[in-house]
Amino acid sequence: MATHPTGTREEWLTARRALLEREKELTRRSDELARERQSLPSVRIDEPYSFEARDGTKRLADLFDGRSQLLVYHLMFGPDDDLPCVGCSFTADNLDGAVFHLAHHDVSFVAVSRAPIEKLDAYRRISGWRFPWVSALGSDFNLDFSAFTEEERRAGTGFNFGTPRHADIDLRSFELHGLSAFVLEDGVVYHTYSCYDRGTDVLNGTWQLLDRAPKGREPEPGDWPHRRAHEEPAQGGRVPVA
């Protein structure tokens, strides 16, 4: 087992002040990146996507729920799956509490999966999630917002903008997670941003808290968090895998 270095309080303060400068640098760069995200060109969406919600069929514009901005979490839950991805469920647990506050900033939030609405509703109830969750079954919505070029989209490849690590992923065979942002202007929907893979890492408050704990994200890799809807973490031990 790895051990942490020890030292005096004075040595700790010296090291902590040096680290603080790096943290401030990261914060300033993060603010700059946020401005760059908001400066990306908007792409008009003319595809007539439809979704099944608890209260019937909705268009993409309807998901804004009277607001001008929309964040969509692409939650991995396929039509033939019995349960959603445990990692996506972990992220959804963290996102659920933020939805109330997003609404006060003119932002709506919805999760979208390809599983039928009956499966989504059943899992939503046992998870206690309060955010809207709609089904894109029969729609290319999740596929269209997981690929980079039109050619890659048609071929079903190109996840995470065609980065080499994901070049062999077939988007028509696998469920993938990510976050997409849209804006509604004069009745027209525009796509403004998407991120996938580790790009969604900072959205998960638990990861950020663990990064500040003495042992970080241990145990990893290979050990997913527990599924809150089914069991509680073991006291003083490793987190059980659902």
Q: Where are the domains of the chain?
A: 43-202
Selected residue with higher pLDDT from 57 and 150: 57
Contact residues for 162 (Cβ-Cβ < 8 A; gap 6+): 148, 149, 152
Q: Which strand (E) or helix (H) includes residue 43?
A: strand 43-44
Instruction: Dump pLDDT digits (tens) for 204-235.
Output: 888 899 899 888 887 655 566 777 765 544 33
Residues 63-79 have a mean pLDDT of 95
Residues 115-144 have a mean pLDDT of 93
Q: Which strand (E) or helix (H) includes residue 58?
A: strand 56-59
Structure confidence at residue 177 (pLDDT): 84
Residues 172-178 have a mean pLDDT of 70
- Give 145's pLDDT tier (boundaries 50, 70, 90): confident
- Give 53's pLDDT tier (boundaries 50, 70, 90): very high
| Phi then psi dihedrals of residue 72, to 5 deg | -120, 125
Overall pTM surpassing 0.85 (yes/no): no
Structure confidence at residue 158 (pLDDT): 54
What do you get for the CA distance between the two ends of the chain, in Å? Answer: 26
Distance CA 202, CA 8 (A): 32
Q: Check pLDDT > 70 for residue 160.
A: no
Q: Which strand (E) or helix (H) includes residue 71?
A: strand 69-74
Instruction: Please give the structure tokens belonging to residue 13.
Output: 């303060």
Distance CA 26, CA 29 (A): 5
Q: Residue 203 class from Cβ within 10 Å (0-12 exposed, 13-18 middle, 19+ buried)?
A: middle
Q: Check pLDDT > 60 for residue 157.
A: no
CATH architecture of the domain 43-202 equals 3-Layer(aba) Sandwich (3.40)
